[in-house]
C-alpha cells in the first residue's frame, strides 16, 4: 500500500544537520506513527513520503521554508522581569508557553537580567536545513477514530482549544495541558 492522504504510516527516521550531526532519531524505539496528509509532519518530509511504500528507504534534504521556517529576529522579544512571578527561577534555556496575540506559543529563554527576560519564539530548528534518513515500516488505512479523534473542547468536555488530548473519562489526557474537564 502506498502512502497517501488519510493513511496511517509508521517510519523510522534519523534527523541530522547538514554537517551530519544527529539531532534526533527513532532508531532503537518504536517507529514514528502519524496520519498522512493532515499536517502532522513538516511539509518537506510529508511531501517526500507521498507515494512511498513499506520497505522504501531514502534520504531527503529539506530547506528551512519546508521545515520549521526561516529564523525570524522579530520573534525574539525582551519582556519586563516584572511580568514573571517574583520568586520564579528563570534560567537561560528554559522553555515555557507564553500567551501571544496569535495564541499560545512555546518560547525559549535566551537572556535574563534583573529587569528583563529575553525570549525567542522561533522553533529551535528554524532557519536550519535538515537531512532525514527515512525507512517506511508500515502503511495502512486509518480507522474512523484515527480520522476523527476526540479533542479538548469537543466531545470530551475538556478545555476549549488547548490542543491537548482528552481521555475517555473527560479528564485532561497525557498531553499535560493542565486543564480540568470543566474547561477551567
CATH number at residue 25: 3.10.50.40
Q: How far apart are CA 165 and CA 39, in angstroms?
A: 17
- What's the pLDDT tens digit per position in 27-48? 999 999 999 999 999 999 999 9
Identify the helix (H) or strand (E) that includes residue 116: strand 116-120
Residue 152: band (very low, low, confident or very high) from pLDDT cuts 50, 70, 90: low
Total structural domains within the chain: 3
Output the nine-digit C-alpha cell for 153. 473542547
Q: Which of 141, 133, 142, 165 is nearest to 26 (CA)?
A: 133
Q: How far apart are CA 98 and CA 74, in angstroms?
A: 16
pLDDT at position 88 is: 84
142, pLDDT greater than 90: yes
Q: How far apart are CA 56 and CA 134, in angstroms?
A: 8
Q: Does 1 reside within a domain?
A: no
Q: How far apart are CA 4 and CA 37, in angstroms?
A: 7
- Are both 157 and 142 inside the same structural domain? no
- Are both 137 and 174 inside the same structural domain? no
Domain limits at 33?
Answer: 7-68+126-147
Q: Which of 106, 104, 107, 103 is nearest to 92 (CA)?
A: 107
3 state DSSP class of 142: coil
- Are both 116 and 130 inside the same structural domain? no
3 state DSSP class of 68: coil
Q: How far apart are CA 4 and CA 7, in angstroms?
A: 6
Q: How far apart are CA 45 and CA 13, in angstroms?
A: 11
- What's the pLDDT tens digit per position in 65-108? 999 999 999 999 999 999 888 888 999 999 999 888 888 999 99
179, pLDDT greater than 60: no
- What's the pLDDT tens digit per position in 111-139? 999 999 999 999 999 999 999 999 999 99
Amino acid at each position: 500500500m502506498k502512502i497517501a492522504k488519510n493513511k496511517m504510516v509508521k517510519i523510522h527516521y534519523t534527523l541530522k544537520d547538514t554537517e551530519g550531526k544527529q539531532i534526533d532519531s527513532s532508531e532503537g524505539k518504536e517507529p514514528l506513527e502519524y496520519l498522512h496528509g493532515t499536517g502532522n509532519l513538516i511539509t518537506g518530509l510529508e511531501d517526500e513520503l507521498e507515494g512511498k511504500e513499506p520497505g522504501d528507504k531514502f534520504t531527503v534534504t529539506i530547506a528551512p521554508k519546508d521545515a520549521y521556517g526561516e529564523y525570524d529576529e522579530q520573534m525574539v522579544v525582551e519582556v519586563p522581569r516584572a511580568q514573571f512571578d517574583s520568586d520564579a527561577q528563570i534560567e537561560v534555556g528554559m522553555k515555557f508557553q507564553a500567551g501571544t496575540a496569535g495564541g499560545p506559543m512555546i518560547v525559549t529563554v535566551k537572556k535574563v537580567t534583573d529587569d528583563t527576560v529575553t525570549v525567542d519564539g522561533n522553533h529551535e530548528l528554524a532557519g536550519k536545513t535538515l537531512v532525514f534518513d527515512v525507512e517506511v515500516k508500515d502503511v495502512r488505512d486509518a480507522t474512523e477514530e484515527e480520522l476523527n479523534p476526540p479533542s479538548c473542547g469537543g466531545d470530551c468536555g475538556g478545555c476549549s482549544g488547548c490542543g491537548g488530548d482528552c481521555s475517555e473519562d473527560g479528564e485532561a489526557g497525557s498531553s499535560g495541558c493542565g486543564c480540568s474537564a470543566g474547561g477551567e
